[in-house]
Amino acid sequence: MTKEEIIEKVNSVLAEEFEVEESVITPDAVIKNALELDSLSLVDLVALIDQEFGVKISNAELPTIKTFADLYTYIESHQA
Partner 1 sequence: MARRVVITGMGIWSCLGTNLETVCESLYKGKSGIIYDPVRKEMGFRSALTAKVEMPNLKGLVPRNQRVYMAEEAQYAYMSTLEALKNAKLDQDYLDNNVVGLLFGNDSTADAVVKSVDKMREYKDTAMCGSGAIFQSMNSTVTMNLACLFKLRGINLTVSGACASGSHAIGLGSILIRDGFEDMIVCGGAQEVNPFSIGSFDGISAFSTREDAPEKASRPFDRDRDGLVPGGGAATVILEEYEHAVKRGAPILAEICGYGFSGNGDHISTPNVAGPSRSLQLALEHAGMGIKDIGYINAHATSTHVGDTQEAKAIYGIFGDSGVPVTSTKGQTGHEMWMAGASEIVYSMLMMKNNFIAGNLNFENPDEDSAKLNIVAKTTEAHFDTFLSNSFGFGGTNSTLIVRNL
**Per CB under 8 A, 44 contacts partner 1:** yes
Chain centroid to CA 49: how far? Answer: 6
Q: How many residues bind partner 1 (CB under 8 A)?
A: 15
**Per CB under 8 A, 18 contacts partner 1:** yes
Chain centroid to CA 35: how far? Answer: 10
Query: 21, 23, 28, 40: which one contacts partner 1 (CB under 8 A)?
Result: 40
Strands (E), the chain: none
What letter does residue 63 receive in the DSSP assignment? G
Query: 12, 26, 33, 51: which one contacts partner 1 (CB under 8 A)?
Result: 51
Query: 5, 12, 30, 56: which one contacts partner 1 (CB under 8 A)?
Result: 56
Phi–psi pair at 37, nearest 5 degrees: -85, 145
**Per CB under 8 A, 1 contacts partner 1:** no
**Per CB under 8 A, 46 contacts partner 1:** yes
Q: How far apart are CA 15 and CA 79, in angstroms?
A: 21
